[in-house]
Every structure is written in structure tokens, then in C-alpha cells.
Amino acid sequence: MDEKARTLTAEKTAAGFRAADMVENDMVIGLGTGSTVFYMIERLSARIRDGLRVSGIPTSYQTAIRAREYGIPLTTLDDCPVIDLAIDGADEVDPHLNLIKGRGAAHTREKCVAAAAFRFIVVVDEQKVVPRLSAPVPVEVIPFAVRPVMNQLREFGCLPKIREGVKKDGPVITDNGNFIIDCSFTEIPNPANLETTIARIPGVVESGLFCGFTEKTTVIVGNEKDCRIITSTDIVP
């Protein structure tokens, strides 16, 4: 492992472990999807072996499989429609705690779980904290409406592209049975407005813009030496 990869792994591990240590007995927690969340699950599993009592709601099949492998008891939003906290990663975080998520194509379930949580803990490495959001915005779309949705997305000034599978011909299929359109914008001056605008398009299920949870969001930025914590009180006016 080269130095850059080692540093990145250390940052993700630090953030994931810090988030897992915030979990208390008898909590119901949302389990996000992604590489940094993996380290949280690893640490949470160790705490469960030491006697911690928790239940988790996975946001993807991948997370459900991993959580079971690590001995984390699982539940659902049907059984627990209001939960204590959700822990998840992000592709980008801006100074207002707006997020872009969805690189793992799980952002619809992630948004449902984040909305159900009293607190939303976001774990990232240093490179995910940016001055303004600029990453491609994933949009989950029902297959029936892909072409009309892409046409409308182009009107918003983006370059939409259906996400292709890896080691699979054709589009990525989400856990909900839908397609992902990755939308590249030259700039995103108002992420909240863009999130609302995209949501109004018939056929759109959810976008990867997370702008409605800033007041309950805590961002844990992993570092080799320690973690940096950002909350709503730190939001730049």
C-alpha cells in the first residue's frame, strides 16, 4: 500500500471508529453504505461483542450482508419508523453541510433513513470536504421514464449519463429496481434549489443531493492523528 492509500485508509478508519463510539445502548441506528461506513461497522461489531445492545437499519443489500457477517442485529423502518441516529458517508460536504451522496447507488434508502433519524452522522475523509459541491449528482429514476427525465435534466444545464455496471453489461440497477443517471454540472450555485427542482420531475425517485438535514447533521472528518467535528453551529453564513 502506497503512502497516499495508507493515509486515506487511516482517515476513513478514524472517522468510522469515532462514529461507532457515539452509539449508546439500546439505540436503533441507520447503517449507511460505503467504504468509510465499513470501518464504523467493524468497530460497532467489536462493541457489540463487549456487550453493547443496538439494532441497525441497513440502507442497501451490501450493508445488510456486511452487518450480518459482523453480528449486528438488524431491523427495518417498518418496525422502527423513528430512529436514534443514522451513520453514513458522503461523496462531498460543503461549508453549509449540504451533501452529495450516491456513488454506491443507495442514496434513496439513505435519504429515507436519514429523514427518520433524530441525528445524522456523516463520516468522511479530508478530501470529501470541499468549498462548493461539484461532483456528479446521482439521480435514481424509474426505467419507464429514463429518456424524458434525461431530456429535462439537460434543460437544467447538466450532462446526464446512465450509470453503467462494472462486470455487467448495461445499466446499474439499484436495490429498488431502478436506474441511476449521473448528472455533471459545471457549477451548483444553489444545491437546495436544485434538489427541489430535480425532485419535481415525473419519474425521478430521489437525487443524491442532501440539503434538508443540516440542522441535525454532524460531520466527522477523519485524520491520522484525530478527527475534526463539524456541526450546524459551524456553518458558514
Could you list the active site residues? 110
Instruction: Record the cell numbers describing residue 7, joined without a space.
Output: 493515509
DSSP 174: -
Q: List the alpha helices (DSSP H) in 123-170.
A: 146-155
* Adjacent-strand bridge partners of 209: 100
Residue type, 139: V
Closest CA to 98 of 79, 122, 76: 122
Handedness of CA 206, 211, 90, 18 (dihedral sign): negative
- Contacts of 167 by beta carbon, 8 Å cutoff, 6+ apart: none
CA–CA gap between residue 191 and residue 99 (Å, rounded): 9
Residue 125's SS3 state is strand
CA–CA gap between residue 92 and residue 132 (Å, rounded): 9
- Contacts of 83 by beta carbon, 8 Å cutoff, 6+ apart: 27, 28, 29, 30, 57, 77, 113, 116, 117, 118
